[in-house]
Structure 1
Amino acid sequence: MADTPWLTILGLGEDGPKGLTDASRAALDAAEVVMGPPRHLSLLPDVTAERIEWPVPFADGVPLLLAHRGRRVVMLASGDPFWFGAGTVVTQALAQGEWTALPGPSCFSLAAARLGWGLEQIACLGLHAAPLARLRPLLAPGARAIVTLRDGAAVASLAGYLDGAGFGASVLHVLEALGGPRERVRRVTAQDYALDDMQHPVAVGIEVAGAGAVLGLASGRADDWFAHDGQITKRPVRALALSALAPRPGDLLWDIGAGSGSIGIEWLLSHPSLRATGFEGNPERAARARENAQALGVDRLQIVEGHAPEVLEGQPRPDAVFVGGGLSQALLERLYALPSGTRLVAHAVTLESEALLAQAQAAKGGSLLRVELAEAQPLGRKRGWKSAYPIVQWSVTL
């Protein structure tokens, strides 16, 4: 660990020198190198340090920054570098004592101050390089969000996305160059959006309105949310599976035989810290699972093509495992080798796979549950019960 930080991560506002604190000015005066995007460099007062433009894409600038380790370096970032900012990325490559940070007001704080919104009550998302569909789980009438976007074209895309999802009545507060002399705030509905003279940087406050479909908060969302070819864990059984899997913050799930990806997707929808990897041997189903995850705002679902147990080799160890297809004795033996405390849930439909789970429960303990469901269906001019294949669920903590 370094005795003295060689890097200062400085949050710079749109007002440039006017917003600098005494500590910020001292850091700039002492710097040998100042590195940042061209827009930020243009906001600086006169400094004697060497100026280096941060390249695009952002990741290319990290090794360039690290090459100056040992010199006095100031890295420029927007507002608060650790609130959807660059500081989080850069410090992953540094020891704690190598850097210090001087944050400024974040654009989220500035936006909330302009709109009079309680920041603790709204969703905040950085969508500079992320798909707009990450908003999908949040879309419900009355919901509010503040999002940062790359440019004016991205704001237009946001309006089109909301309109296409049935929320065209949503009010967009378009906030440009907050905190500086070019600041501007405009209000428009998504369905009527026609602005074409956007000033960077841009954030948008969203007040959701409209009659679009709302993605519920509880596990067991309707099957219609997932594109599938029939290979899907149906809604009631999916709810039982998620309950048995018992997701906890930060957990990693293995979804073996991912099919439509519905189990992994619902797992990820439970909490933003959760991680999931789906394993699917059918390329078409694997592609469909990725598309479903993108559409429902959990593009962080990883899909690995291949058949278990072979495809599991070399994968990060999971906290929970769901087996929805491809059950075999070889797969069970592979899963038994996972660390103590791993939660395992497996489903069976065929007599052969039921027998495997009965033997597994006898050997390893846990809970064995048989689920038989029937739905009311037309029967002539009346109605009757149509039964689905029974499902046997084995759940155990290894």
Structure 2
Amino acid sequence: MAERNPWLTIVGIGEDGPAGLSAASHDAIARADWVTGAARHLALLPDLPAAATPWPVPFADGIAPLLARRGSHVVMLVSGDPFWFGAGSVVTRHLSPDEWVAHPAPSTFTLAAARLGWVIEGTVCLGLHAAPFERLRRHLAPSVRAIVLVRDGAAVAALARYLVDCGFAESALWVLEALGGPRERIRETDAASCDFADILHPVAVALEVSGGGPALTTASGLADDWFAHDGQITKRPVRALTLSALAPRPGELLWDIGAGSGSVAIEWLLAHPATQALAFEADPTRTERARDNAAALGVDRLRVVEGRVPAVLEGQPLPNAVFIGGGLSDALLEWLGTTLPRGTRLVANAVTLESEAVLARWHNDRGGNLLRIELADAAPIGTRRGWRSHYPIVQWSVTL
């Protein structure tokens, strides 16, 4: 194995400045030709021996100047642990493994858990300083604990309002300011009463959820009223069976064809934080509604593409699984069968006789499982009750 000779050292720094740095970090800074980092981080080391330049905003603008320093000794200062909601992975994806080394410091999550006595592996940890609060939505259930990194004091107030709006006004909050340094301060309140006006940066919020707001289930088949829709939605029991047949796995990509409200793709994304999904929808109103549903449920990573199949599918990243909820035809199935790689899982639902006939032919030719789903709800019949049947659904699932 070739000896590593890194030109970039990523140094995690806390609010205690040089006192909290490791010997390796001190040595890297002493040898540096150039140091960069947020202005706040540079200010923690006032006696730097090398030239120092603040990292620009937006963050991406600093990548090219950094890479232009290849061959010199460069130190990049970052908050705490560079690879836990930090800048480390953003930078190192542009480098080979032998070009960099990292010396992490305790993260804000570690310090917050240590101050509060929380079991960190049982605590939700989220970086929301540049992400929507809705990413917290799936975790909001009574007694859940979370530590959330936020941008500033205004973001703390906004987070409290979000909890109130979700029905969790009684949630306990701990506002954790400048942890690990001389300015450290921790104050406790609740979401409904949070009104601190002098919050120091950097800041995190620890919260213990309390209140009667609705909580997302961890099982497939969310209630239909979690989604805005115009009736074009895979209903809850059928959606649960559909997700079971699609069988989402970490890191996999779904194509949701004829997405409607986006409910299937959204539940695919809720199954695991590493899943990905592309939703295809021809109707512009439904396209926008699917995006809004995804954002509201904290899976803003859903990409919704407007257009008609199969043309809109051309050039898209190839999926691990495909769901056809609309636009089913022989032509579409033929295109998928000749385009998608062996091993792709395909699930198609049909409600009309014509679509049933299509699935019956393809099941006869290609195998897989053909399932007829018949559901009925109890409904009033005069003073008594009876069964009100839904249209039956035929579902074909197959591995290509």
Map Cα deviations across residues 43-73 of structure 1 (whole Å, 9 max, x no partner).
Answer: 0141221111111111111112111111110
C-alpha distance in 1 between matches for 2:64 and 2:292: 33
Q: Aligned pair 1:183/2:184, yes or no?
A: yes
Tell me which of 374, 377, 395 is aligned to 1:375.
377
Tell me which of 315, 327, 350 is aligned to 1:348.
350
C-alpha distance in 2 between matches for 1:250 and 1:361: 28
C-alpha distance in 2 between matches for 1:24 and 1:93: 22
Match of 2:188, SS state, is: strand
Q: Aligned pair 1:202/2:203, yes or no?
A: yes
Match of 1:198, SS state, is: coil
Name the counterpart of 2:259.
258
Identify unmatched segments of 5+ residues in structure 2: none
Q: Aligned pair 1:330/2:331, yes or no?
A: yes
C-alpha distance in 2 between matches for 1:381 and 1:299: 47
C-alpha distance in 2 between matches for 1:378 and 1:32: 80
C-alpha distance in 2 between matches for 1:146 and 1:392: 45
Deviation at 1:254, TM superposition (A): 0.3
C-alpha distance in 2 between matches for 1:161 and 1:216: 19
C-alpha distance in 2 between matches for 1:315 and 1:107: 38
Amino acid at match of 1:310: A
C-alpha distance in 2 between matches for 1:64 and 1:257: 44
Tell me which of 349, 353, 361 is aligned to 1:359.
361
1:287-302 map, 5 Å? 287-302=288-303
Deviation at 1:20, TM superposition (A): 1.6
Name the counterpart of 1:127.
128
- Please, what is the CA RMSD of the aligned residues? 0.9
Amino acid at match of 1:159: A
Deviation at 1:3, TM superposition (A): 4.5
C-alpha distance in 1 between matches for 2:17 and 2:210: 37
- 4+ long deviations beyond 4 Å: none
Match of 2:317, SS state, is: coil
1:107-146 map, 5 Å? 107-146=108-147
Amino acid at match of 1:22: A
Amino acid at match of 1:346: A
TM-score scaled by length of structure 2: 0.98
Given that 1:260 and 1:292 are in contact with CA atoms closer than 8 Å, whether structure 2 keeps it comes out as: yes
Name the counterpart of 2:75.
74
Percent identity, aligned pairs only, is 66
Given that 1:2 and 1:98 are in contact with CA atoms closer than 8 Å, whether structure 2 keeps it comes out as: no
Name the counterpart of 1:319.
320
Name the counterpart of 1:387.
389
Name the counterpart of 2:161.
160
Deviation at 1:17, TM superposition (A): 1.2
C-alpha distance in 2 between matches for 1:166 and 1:20: 42
Map Cα deviations across residues 315-358 of structure 1 (whole Å, 9 max, x no partner).
Answer: 00100000000001111011102111100000001111111100
Name the counterpart of 1:248.
249
Amino acid at match of 1:202: V
C-alpha distance in 1 between matches for 2:335 and 2:47: 63
Aligned length: 398
Identify unmatched segments of 5+ residues in structure 1: none
Given that 1:36 and 1:53 are in contact with CA atoms closer than 8 Å, whether structure 2 keeps it comes out as: yes
Map Cα deviations across residues 150-171 of structure 1 (whole Å, 9 max, x no partner).
Answer: 0001100000000011000000
Deviation at 1:397, TM superposition (A): 0.4
Match of 2:176, SS state, is: strand
C-alpha distance in 2 between matches for 1:15 and 1:45: 13
Match of 2:101, SS state, is: strand
Name the counterpart of 2:284.
283
C-alpha distance in 1 between matches for 2:30 and 2:216: 52
C-alpha distance in 2 between matches for 1:64 and 1:227: 45
Name the counterpart of 1:53.
54
Amino acid at match of 1:374: A
Deviation at 1:99, TM superposition (A): 0.2
Match of 2:220, SS state, is: coil
C-alpha distance in 2 between matches for 1:384 and 1:63: 69
C-alpha distance in 1 between matches for 2:331 and 2:55: 51
C-alpha distance in 2 between matches for 1:283 and 1:306: 9
C-alpha distance in 2 between matches for 1:69 and 1:152: 38
Amino acid at match of 2:384: K
Amino acid at match of 2:34: V
C-alpha distance in 1 between matches for 2:383 and 2:51: 84
Deviation at 1:2, TM superposition (A): 8.5
Q: Aligned pair 1:102/2:95, yes or no?
A: no
Given that 1:259 and 1:280 are in contact with CA atoms closer than 8 Å, whether structure 2 keeps it comes out as: yes
C-alpha distance in 2 between matches for 1:176 and 1:334: 56
Given that 1:148 and 1:204 are in contact with CA atoms closer than 8 Å, whether structure 2 keeps it comes out as: yes
Match of 2:210, SS state, is: coil
Map Cα deviations across residues 271-297 of structure 1 (whole Å, 9 max, x no partner).
Answer: 101001100010100100010001111
Match of 1:192, SS state, is: coil
Given that 1:9 and 1:74 are in contact with CA atoms closer than 8 Å, whether structure 2 keeps it comes out as: yes
Match of 1:191, SS state, is: coil
